[in-house]
Amino acid sequence: MKETDILIVGAGPAGLSAGIAAAKHGAKVLVIDENRKPGGQLFKQIHKFFGSREHNAGVRGFRIGEKLLEETEALQVEVLLGYPVYGIFEDNLALYGSANGVQSVKAKKLILATGANENNLCIQGSTLPGVMTAGAAQTMVNLHHVQPGSRVVMVGSGNVGLIVSYQMLQAGIDVVAVVEAAPSIGGYGVHANKLRRAGVPFYLSHTINRIMGEDGVQQVELVELDHFKPVPGTEMILDADTVCMAVGLTPMVELARMAGCQMVEIPSLGGVLPLHDEDMCTTNPDVYIAGDISGVEEASTAMEEGRLAGIAAAEALGYLSTECAAQEKDAIRARLNTLRSGDFGQKRADAKEQIVNYFHQGGKQ
């Protein structure tokens, strides 16, 4: 059995940032990720990020990923890739896969940075080849350089839907529609404007009714919505060979559940997630969380939350003094507050504050 100070599950932006922050203060860190490559979703983010300089604003996502990997390597953080963590048991014992079968590791502290998984829609034809989540299409185009199709209908106009639509255009694919059930666009106006300038039609107050085709997607039926209810007689048919679903993400909380972390339901952050305090510590004092598992946001906030969890865990193990930790944590929280401000961020800031309040009230919702 292996032993480590801190076991981090997930080598995405949150997990790697947590590992770097904790290792910098001398903690022994092990990061495990079921994917064969580290970086989570960062390496498919080919667009320039928002934020300010300390958030790497203006830098393309994959370059931020490269920087994280360099730091991870420089600090000699051990990263195991390609095998999942199967479960967490008493005394922070975790079982994980390896080429030599299942192995166990005992950690003093755990940081769960497992991320989120994409929602889908259950509609007629949604199992046809050519229907996929937006993230899957993004992986095909940006990592594997394969076009999923030639005419895409994007369902959902949040930032994921908008960004992936733009990247489809960049890959030479036509986006024939961005469909949004709400009466207004969900994501940033500047992302939407890139698509508008390219002539992509937006169908607001519309949903996708069904997908038709023999051996794959051939046609997509849209219908207009009135207060989210379909209006009969407004059905229209578009020719398309690909449907991308960008209809939200849900935190991956299975391991947190196994670790006995108390949960709370916050629909605006993706649904059920572990209660946590301002240090990202859950109701299990040995388990911290960071990134999308603690509420679906974006890579910049995930990295800051990772740093916060990494410092808090290292502090709990005595690797840095309370004063020193407080100083670093305050700086991180200030940067998080900046990212969670403005027209879009304030709602997330409020929801995050609500979670911390529930935590201190003993989990009463």
Partner 1 sequence: MVPNEDEIYVCRCEEVTVGDIKRAIAAGARSVRDIKVRTNAGMGVCQGMTCRKNIERMLREAKIDLDVCCTHQRFTVRLLNVNDLTAITNEEGE
Partner 2 sequence: MERTPGIPTPERLEQGPVACIECVQCIPCNPCEAACPQKAITVGAEITALPKLDGDRCNGCGICITRCPGLAIFRLHKHYTDTTALVSFPYEYVPLPEQGASVRCSSRDGAFVCEGVVSSVRTAPTFDHTAIVTVEIPKEHLMDVRGIQRKGGQ
For 260, the 3-state DSSP assignment is coil
**Binding partner of residue 57 among partner 1, partner 2, none, CB cut-off 5 to 8 Å per kind:** partner 2
Q: Is 124 in the site for partner 1 (CB under 8 A)?
A: yes
**Comparison of 2 and 63: residue with beta carbon closer to partner 2:** 63
Footprint of partner 2 on residues 177-216 (CB under 8 A)? 188-191, 193-194, 196-200
Write phi, then psi, for 64 (nearest 5 degrees). Answer: -65, -40
Give the pair of three-digit tokens for residue 26. 């001398």
The residue among 267, 293, 285, 259 whose CA lies nearest residue 350 is 267
Give the total of residues touching partner 1 (CB under 8 A).
Answer: 36
The residue among 64, 46, 28, 258 whose CA lies nearest residue 167 is 46
Whether the CB-CB separation of 194 and 216 falls below 8 Å is answered with no
Residue from 218, 250, 338, 354 touching partner 1 (CB under 8 A): that is 250
Whether the CB-CB separation of 308 and 338 falls below 8 Å is answered with no
Question: Is residue 158 packed enough to be buried (19+ CB in 10 Å), middle (13-18) or exposed (0-12)?
Answer: buried
The tally of CA atoms less than 13 A away on the side-chain side of residue 306 is 30
- Residues 124-163, one symbol each (x = binds partner 2 by CB under 8 A, - = not), give ----------------------------------------
Query: Dihedral angle at the C-alpha atoms of 189, 192, 197, 202, nearest 10 degrees?
Result: -120
User: Minimal distance in Å, beta carbon 282 to partner 1?
Assistant: 10
Stretch that binds partner 1, among 50-58, 124-132, 191-199, 337-345 (CB under 8 A): 124-132
**What are the residues whose beta carbons fall under 8 Å from the beta carbon of 197, sequence distance 6 or more?**
none
Residue from 34, 118, 174, 221 touching partner 2 (CB under 8 A): that is 174
| Helix boundaries (H) for 225-341 | 254-258, 299-316, 322-339
**Binding partner of residue 60 among partner 1, partner 2, none, CB cut-off 5 to 8 Å per kind:** partner 2
**Binding partner of residue 200 among partner 2, partner 1, none, CB cut-off 5 to 8 Å per kind:** partner 2
**Binding partner of residue 126 among partner 1, partner 2, none, CB cut-off 5 to 8 Å per kind:** partner 1
Q: Give the span between the Cα atoms of 190 and 152, in whole angstroms.
A: 21
**Binding partner of residue 196 among partner 1, partner 2, none, CB cut-off 5 to 8 Å per kind:** partner 2
**Binding partner of residue 189 among partner 1, partner 2, none, CB cut-off 5 to 8 Å per kind:** partner 2
Q: Give the span between the Cα atoms of 68 and 32, in whole angstroms.
A: 15
Footprint of partner 1 on residues 254-273 (CB under 8 A)? 254-255, 257-258, 260-265, 271-272
Give the pair of three-digit tokens for residue 340. 């969670």
**Which residues in this chain contact partner 1 in the complex, by CB under 8 A?**
34, 84-87, 89, 95, 97, 101-102, 104, 117, 119-120, 122-124, 126-127, 209-210, 250, 252, 254-255, 257-258, 260-265, 271-272, 365
**Which residues in this chain contact partner 2 in the complex, by CB under 8 A?**
47-53, 57-60, 169-170, 174-175, 188-191, 193-194, 196-200, 338-345
